[in-house]
Chains A and B, each alone.
Chain A
Amino acid sequence: MLQLERKKEENKDILRLIGEVDASNSILLDQSMQEILEQGATVLLIDGTELVYISSAGLGVFMSYLDDFSERGIRFAIFGLNEQVNEVFKILGLDRLIAIAPDLSTATRMTHES
């Protein structure tokens, strides 16, 4: 089960993931990201505080946008991941490519710096 909540704060688009991202619902995540991008977001933050589990298919979604983000100069960060999910990002090495922050303020700071 995955629930997606979108929020806009100043210039930031925040997408909150609630539940699990797996092969069956990663398409929903993909659609949301696509929409946000089409609406011309400049800063996209993923709120993972309530993300329980993410499968490789879910990681694939983030990965597939990395090039788009750098091409369009969109600043992207993920914050609030629990230990288990954070580990998944780390093992795959995505922490080297994506800004992963403990909380929203850190994430905001990180995206301002870059």
Chain B
Amino acid sequence: MIKTSTLPLGRISLLLAIVVWLALVLVDLVRIFGMLNNLDSGISEEVTWILEILFFIFVYLVYRHIFWKTRQSDFLTLIWRGVSTGLFAASAGLLTELIYYALGESKIGTDPFLKNVFYHINFAWTSAFLIATTLLWKHLILYQKNKQVVNQWQVFEFSMAGALLFVFFNHNNLDYSFLFGLVILLVISILLAVNLKWIPYLNFKEKWKTLLFLFLILLCAGFLFYRVLDSGNEGRVQINLTDNLFLMALFGFVFIYGLFSFLVTLFNLPTSSVFEQKLTEAINFQKLSQSIQPEESEEQVLDILLDSCISASFSDGAWIELNPKEQVQIKNPLRILDESTRAELTKLIPQEKQSWVYTSPTEIPQPQTIRLVHPNYKSALLVPLVVNKSILARIILIKEVKEGFNKEMMSIIGTFARQACISVENHRLLNQAIENERYQEELKIAQRVQKALLPLKLDHPDSFDICAYSNTADEVGGDYYDTYQVDENHFVLIMGDVSGKGTSAAFHMAQMKGVFQSLIQLGLRPAEFMKKANAALSKCLERNHFITASIFEIDVVNHTFCHARAGHIPTLWYKANENQAEFISVEGLGLGIVRNLTYKNHVQEKTFAYHSGDILVLLTDGILEGRKETGEQFGNDRLKKIVEANPQKTPIQLQQEIIESLHQFVGGDGMIDDDYSLLVVKFK
């Protein structure tokens, strides 16, 4: 069966093969005419050989092209290609036999020229069949090839090429060199014939079909070989094309591989169900290992797992039990069994094996077999599913025979279970990751909202400059500062710090702002402000949280400030006329520590007079407690020295100086594990 191809390569080869064949026929007819009439035709036998070799080559190219085009087809389609060519060749042979049988001993029947034409036709079909089948075998041999097989095949191909040219060496004689060459090629064929990896991949039905096809190929090969021998023996032809090492070797190869394949397929028939089973398991395994798609759920994985376990163990029933603590529901937990049987069987399983608690924390529970005393069911297999170190569910497989679960089943089921658990775990991790992503987003929003709680612009008169800086240890923090203009001449500075850090601190900071903003409107004196703030905040702070705060009321006319401190880090005051800085000492307890009226005993206020060039540095403990790797803290003295060394700087410059020094001090491996803020005021 030669298909005309759309690609010119195939067509050209086909055309050339036909042309060469016609030339061969013509040349041989002329030579026979010469032989019969004892004339010198002027054509040597080498011309015949060359044309014969060319014919083989072109037929090879035609089939190589066809196989290349259909290389993705399944085995049966490919084998059918060989079978159909064989059937054509065989029928051509049969037809010739029939024609000659009909012609009998008539004149035409004995005509040497007509005989030769038929001989050439049969030769062409036989060659086509052998070459096609060889290419088919090549495809099958090289299925799942490795380097060794490829090398073997190349040796075979080179040997065949040698056999092609052998005719020039031995002049078509059946001598010892011919036999020697044939033996070598047959040995190589036998070596190649063990490569039968394609057979196990056929299913039961395909194997039967393959057997039939192979049988047909063997039959055709046998018949054609018989005819070749026959025509050679009887000397019916004057020019023998078929006693050719190449052709003989091809016969050998086609027959040997065909026979091996046939026998191996035949012997593989009974075990094919096992291979199919393994293949199903592999597919199930793949299903389980595919991570659960977002639209799928854990239940679906458990469903697939249950079915896979049943098919892998040939169970007569199964159910899945879910850990009541897990929030997973499965629609159909029972397979093959009914509810009452399940209840019966559950009672037969020892209580300790039904526990949802790990017996040993280090070892992952493995599938275990149980003997059942039940009229119908004799053995059970418990498969625990462990996700994230707790038992998610348990599959119970039931069989009607005793000891129905062998090692292989348990190992494959164990693998299934582990894979399913990994899928579920991955699914959960993915969901967690999505959730975390969401939290991150929320935190970003929180961060933005909280930044907005700090003032963008600081109220201040021309008589002093001010700047502020705040940074948080986490996304959000608990530091707060603000300024407020009471009237034309009075300004309030305030700084607060919630104990702890992070989200809880941030919420309290928002409350602090609310309280401070309300109280500041009342025009309270600093100590009074702190008392009211303590009373208000005591009602809303968690018991283990407190707030420290500093408040300054600046009178720009009288050049004084009144200050109260509620447990806050003392403020650094640089006095320009003395050229030195000191921490203002005013007694005061943090807010929310004493949650009753006695707080008034714990806070005081003091008024100080300031001068031009004086600097106030309000800060939170995050700055002073910034630590080096060695544990050393930034501390009061370092801050004091920086301010004393830079009194001429503007507040913003001084602030930068302090922050830079702090970062330098802490270094790469140190830490500022708290929110830290700074408010710098410089009087003009």
A interface list, Cβ under 8 A from B: 22-23, 26, 30, 52-53, 55-57, 59-61, 63-64, 66-67, 84, 88, 91-94, 96-97
A-B contact pairs, 9 of them (CB 8 A): A30-B544, A55-B673, A56-B621, A59-B499, A84-B633, A92-B590, A94-B589, A94-B593, A97-B593
Query: How far is it, in angstroms, between the C-alpha of A87 and the C-alpha of B195 when the chains are bound?
Result: 86
The answer to whether A52 touches B497 (Cβ under 8 A) is no
The answer to whether A64 touches B594 (Cβ under 8 A) is no
A61 and B631 in contact (CB under 8 A), knowing A56-B499, A97-B594? no
Query: How far is it, in angstroms, between the C-alpha of A23 and the C-alpha of B631 when the chains are bound?
Result: 17
**Which residues on B sit within 8 Å (CB–CB) of A64?**
543-544
Closest to B570 in A: A91
5 smallest beta-carbon distances between A and B, as pairs: A93-B589, A56-B499, A64-B544, A92-B567, A60-B544
Query: How far is it, in angstroms, between the C-alpha of A66 and the C-alpha of B538 when the chains are bound?
Result: 14
The answer to whether B499 touches A96 (Cβ under 8 A) is no
The answer to whether B548 touches A92 (Cβ under 8 A) is yes
B319 within 8 A of A: no
A93 and B588 in contact (CB under 8 A), knowing A55-B674, A84-B633? yes
Pick the residue among A52, A57, A60 that contacts B631 (CB under 8 A).
A52
The answer to whether B570 touches A60 (Cβ under 8 A) is no
**Which residues on A sit within 8 Å (CB–CB) of B674?**
55-56
**Which residues on A sit within 8 Å (CB–CB) of B499?**
56-57, 59-60
Extra A-B contacts (5), CB below 8 Å, given A60-B545, A66-B593, A66-B594: A23-B502, A56-B499, A93-B587, A94-B589, A97-B593
Query: How far is it, in angstroms, between the C-alpha of A56 and the C-alpha of B477 when the chains are bound?
Result: 13
The answer to whether A56 touches B544 (Cβ under 8 A) is no
- Scan B584-599; emit 1 where CB is below 8 A from any A CB, else 0: 0001111001110000
- Scan B469-504; emit 1 where CB is below 8 A from any A CB, else 0: 000000000000000000000000000010111100
B602 within 8 A of A: yes
The answer to whether A93 touches B602 (Cβ under 8 A) is yes
Query: How far is it, in angstroms, between the C-alpha of A22 and the C-alpha of B499 when the chains are bound?
Result: 11
Query: How far is it, in angstroms, between the C-alpha of A52 and the C-alpha of B589 when the chains are bound?
Result: 23
**Which residues on B sit within 8 Å (CB–CB) of A63?**
544, 546, 593
Query: How far is it, in angstroms, between the C-alpha of A30 and the C-alpha of B544 when the chains are bound?
Result: 10
- Scan B601-625; emit 1 where CB is below 8 A from any A CB, else 0: 0100000000000000000010001
**Which residues on B sit within 8 Å (CB–CB) of A26?**
500
B131 within 8 A of A: no
The answer to whether A97 touches B589 (Cβ under 8 A) is yes
Closest to A68 in B: B543
Interface size on B, residues (CB 8 A): 30
Closest to B601 in A: A96
- Scan B339-359; emit 1 where CB is below 8 A from any A CB, else 0: 000000000000000000000
B569 within 8 A of A: yes
Query: How far is it, in angstroms, between the C-alpha of A63 and the C-alpha of B590 when the chains are bound?
Result: 10
Closest chain B CB from A33 CB (angstroms): 11
Query: How far is it, in angstroms, between the C-alpha of A87 and the C-alpha of B594 when the chains are bound?
Result: 19
Query: How far is it, in angstroms, between the C-alpha of A109 and the C-alpha of B548 when the chains are bound?
Result: 31
Query: How far is it, in angstroms, between the C-alpha of A56 and the C-alpha of B594 when the chains are bound?
Result: 16
The answer to whether A60 touches B546 (Cβ under 8 A) is yes
**Which residues on B sit within 8 Å (CB–CB) of A84?**
633
**Which residues on A sit within 8 Å (CB–CB) of B633?**
84
The answer to whether B500 touches A57 (Cβ under 8 A) is yes
**Which residues on A sit within 8 Å (CB–CB) of B587?**
93
**Which residues on B sit within 8 Å (CB–CB) of A22?**
673
- Scan B387-409; emit 1 where CB is below 8 A from any A CB, else 0: 00000000000000000000000
Closest to A87 in B: B636
Closest chain B CB from A17 CB (angstroms): 16
The answer to whether B593 touches A56 (Cβ under 8 A) is no
Closest chain A CB from B317 CB (angstroms): 50
**Which residues on A sit within 8 Å (CB–CB) of B627?**
53
Question: Would you list which residues of chain B between 64 and 82 have a CB under 8 Å from chain A?
Answer: none
**Which residues on A sit within 8 Å (CB–CB) of B497?**
56
Closest to B592 in A: A63
**Which residues on B sit within 8 Å (CB–CB) of A52?**
631
Q: Which of B500, B548, B595, B631 has the most CB of A within 10 A?
A: B500
**Which residues on A sit within 8 Å (CB–CB) of B544?**
30, 57, 60-61, 63-64
Pick the residue among A23, A30, A92, A93 that contacts B500 (CB under 8 A).
A23
Closest chain A CB from B499 CB (angstroms): 4
**Which residues on A sit within 8 Å (CB–CB) of B621?**
56, 88
**Which residues on B sit within 8 Å (CB–CB) of A55?**
500, 625, 673-674
Pick the residue among A23, A30, A88, A92 that contacts B589 (CB under 8 A).
A92
Closest chain B CB from A66 CB (angstroms): 7
Closest to B500 in A: A57
Query: How far is it, in angstroms, between the C-alpha of A97 and the C-alpha of B437 when the chains are bound?
Result: 44
